[in-house]
C-alpha cells in the first residue's frame, strides 16, 4: 500500500515518482473514502509540502496588499482617509514614506479584510528567519505519545518519532507553512512553539472527525440557519441538553469533536472544514461549565454558517480574550442574541437588578438554562465571583466521557 510507505519528500527523484503516482490516481478518478482516494490525498499533501519548501512563495508586501485590495474593490486614495486620518497621510503611506500605525492596521484589517500579519509584515519576517523549514522537534511529541495520538517512541528513536509526527500532520492535510489560521488568542501566546502545538491539535481533531464515518450525513450549507440555532438554544433547558445539541448538529452533516487543548494553548473551540467539505466544530471543554459550553457551541456554529467556506481556513477561539476580528464580533453577536435578544436583555430584571431570583425568572421566560444568563452577567460585569452556583460547574464533560 502506498499510504503505509509514503514519506516526506527529500529528493527530486522521490518528488517526480510521487508526482507520476498522483497523475495515475487522478486518471482513475477514485471515489471519496476509498484507499486510492486517501493515497491520492496524502501524496498530494507531501508534494505540496515539498514544493513550498523548495520554491517558497514570497508573502505580500503590506503596501502591495493594500494597493491590491484597492484595485479589487475599486477604491480611490480618498476612500482610505477613514483608515489613515488625512489625505496627505494616505499619500505618504502608499508612497512608503510613513509607516502604518497599530490603529491603522486594526482599522484596515477590519474594514478591508486584510490580515493583520500581512500588514505588520510578520509573514515576511518569519519566512526570512526560517526559510520555511519546519522544525519537527517543536511539536509536542511527548504529549502526543501520552495521549495515544502517535505510537510510542523512545528517546533513542527521536528521529523516528519526528518522522511519525510528519506523517500524522500530513495525513490530516495540514502544512505548517500555509495553514490559514484566524486566531483570537492573545499576542503573547502566539509563539512559534504554540503554532506547532496548534497544528498537532488540529491534526488530531481532523483525524477524530474522519474516524466517525458510520451514518454520516452529507452536509448541506442551507441546513445552518436561524431556525437550527433556535432549536439548539431551546435544548439548553434540558438536563441532557449538551448531548442532544451535538447530536442535532451531527445529524445535518457537521462533525463535532471533543478534544482537550494541549499544554500551553488557550482554546475553547475551533471551526474548520475537512478536505472533503465536511465542516468540523471542535470543543476543548477546558471550562467544564454550562454557560461556557452553550456560548462556545453557538459561536463555532456561527463561524460554520457565516465564515468557513473552504478547507483553507481555520478559526481558533480563545473566548476569554476579546478580539478586533469582525468575524469574531459577528459570531459573538449571533451567540449572545440567540440566547437573549437585545430587545429584552437591558430591560430585563436580571440586567437591571441581578439576583438569583431575577435570573431564574428570565430563564423561565426565555426557556433557556439559567447558567447562560448568569454567565453573561459575569462576563459583562467582569465579576466572576458572583452566581457561581448557577453557571453549571461540572455539568458538561460527564455527557461526553466516552468521546
For the chain, list the domains and their CATH numbers.
Answer: 62-126 (1.10.260), 134-170 (no CATH), 209-400 (no CATH)
Span 54-101, pLDDT tens digits? 665 555 678 888 888 888 888 899 889 888 888 888 888 888 877 787
What rounded mean pLDDT belongs to the chain?
81
Asked if pLDDT for residue 225 goes beyond 90, the answer is yes
212-250 burial string, b = 16+ CB within 10 Å, else e? Answer: eeeeeeebeeebbeeebbeebbebbeeeebbbbbbeebb
Q: How far apart are CA 268 and CA 117, in angstroms?
A: 22
pLDDT 10s digits, 128-185: 334 345 677 778 888 888 888 876 545 445 556 667 777 777 666 665 443 333 333 3
In the predicted structure, residue 191 carries a pLDDT above the cut 80: no
Task: Copy the grid coordinates of residue 319.
Answer: 473566548
Alpha-carbon Rg for the chain, nearest whole angstrom, is 23
Element (DSSP H or E) covering residue 66: helix 62-73
Alpha helical stretches, state H, 147-277: 158-171, 192-211, 226-234, 241-250
Question: Which one has a higher pLDDT value, 218 or 166?
Answer: 218
What does the alpha-carbon distance between residue 15 and residue 37 come to, in Å, rounded to a whole number?
19
Bridge-based pairing state of the strands 279-283 and 255-258: parallel
The whole-angstrom distance between residue 299's C-alpha and the CA centroid of its chain comes to 11
Q: For residue 213, what pLDDT is reported? A: 61
C-alpha cell at 94: 502608499
Largest CA distance in the chain: 73
Judged against a pLDDT cut of 70, whether residue 127 lies above it is answered with: no
Distance separating alpha carbons of residues 153 and 306, to the nearest angstrom:
42
For residue range 311-354, list pLDDT tens digits in order: 777 888 888 877 777 888 999 999 999 999 988 999 999 999 99
Amino acid at each position: 500500500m502506498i499510504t503505509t510507505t509514503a514519506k516526506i519528500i527529500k529528493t527530486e527523484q522521490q518528488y517526480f515518482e510521487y508526482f507520476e503516482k498522483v497523475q495515475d490516481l487522478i486518471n482513475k478518478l477514485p471515489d471519496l473514502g476509498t484507499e486510492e482516494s486517501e493515497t491520492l490525498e496524502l501524496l498530494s499533501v507531501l508534494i505540496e509540502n515539498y514544493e513550498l519548501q523548495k520554491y517558497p512563495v514570497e508573502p505580500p508586501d503590506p503596501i502591495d496588499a493594500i494597493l491590491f485590495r484597492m484595485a479589487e474593490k475599486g477604491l480611490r486614495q480618498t476612500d482610505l482617509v477613514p483608515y489613515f486620518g488625512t489625505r496627505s497621510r494616505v499619500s505618504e503611506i502608499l508612497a512608503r514614506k510613513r509607516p502604518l500605525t497599530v490603529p491603522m492596521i486594526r482599522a484596515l484589517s477590519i474594514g478591508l479584510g486584510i490580515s493583520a500579519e500581512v500588514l505588520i509584515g510578520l509573514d515576511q519576517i518569519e519566512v526570512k528567519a526560517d526559510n520555511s523549514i519546519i522544525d519537527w522537534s517543536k511539536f509536542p511529541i511527548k504529549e502526543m505519545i501520552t495521549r495515544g495520538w502517535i505510537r510510542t517512541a523512545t528517546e533513542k528513536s527521536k528521529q523516528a518519532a519526528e518522522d511519525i509526527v510528519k506523517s500524522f500532520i500530513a495525513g490530516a492535510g495540514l502544512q505548517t507553512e500555509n495553514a490559514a489560521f484566524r486566531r483570537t488568542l492573545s499576542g503573547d501566546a502566539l509563539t512559534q512553539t504554540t503554532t506547532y502545538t496548534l497544528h498537532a491539535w488540529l491534526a488530531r481533531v481532523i483525524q477524530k472527525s474522519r474516524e466517525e464515518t458510520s451514518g454520516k450525513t452529507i452536509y448541506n450549507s442551507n441546513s445552518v440557519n436561524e431556525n437550527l440555532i433556535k432549536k439548539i438554544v431551546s435544548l439548553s433547558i434540558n438536563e441532557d441538553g449538551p448531548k442532544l445539541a451535538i447530536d442535532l448538529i451531527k445529524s445535518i452533516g457537521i462533525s463535532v469533536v471533543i478534544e482537550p487543548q494541549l499544554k500551553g494553548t488557550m482554546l475553547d473551540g475551533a471551526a474548520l472544514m475537512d478536505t472533503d467539505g465536511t465542516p468540523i466544530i471542535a470543543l476543548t471543554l477546558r471550562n467544564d461549565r454550562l454557560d461556557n459550553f452553550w456560548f462556545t457551541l453557538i459561536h463555532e456554529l456561527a463561524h460554520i454558517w457565516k465564515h468557513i467556506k473552504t478547507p483553507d481556513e481555520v478559526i481558533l477561539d480563545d473566548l476569554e480574550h476579546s478580539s478586533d476580528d469582525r468575524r469574531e464580533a459577528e459570531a459573538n453577536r449571533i451567540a449572545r442574541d440567540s440566547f437573549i435578544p437585545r430587545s429584552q436583555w437591558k430591560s430585563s430584571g436580571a440586567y437591571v437588578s441581578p439576583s438569583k431570583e431575577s435570573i431564574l425568572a428570565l430563564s423561565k421566560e426565555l426557556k433557556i438554562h439559567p447558567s447562560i444568563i448568569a454567565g453573561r452577567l459575569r462576563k459583562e460585569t467582569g465579576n466572576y465571583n458572583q452566581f457561581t452556583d448557577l453557571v453549571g460547574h461540572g455539568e458538561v464533560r460527564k455527557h461526553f466521557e466516552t468521546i
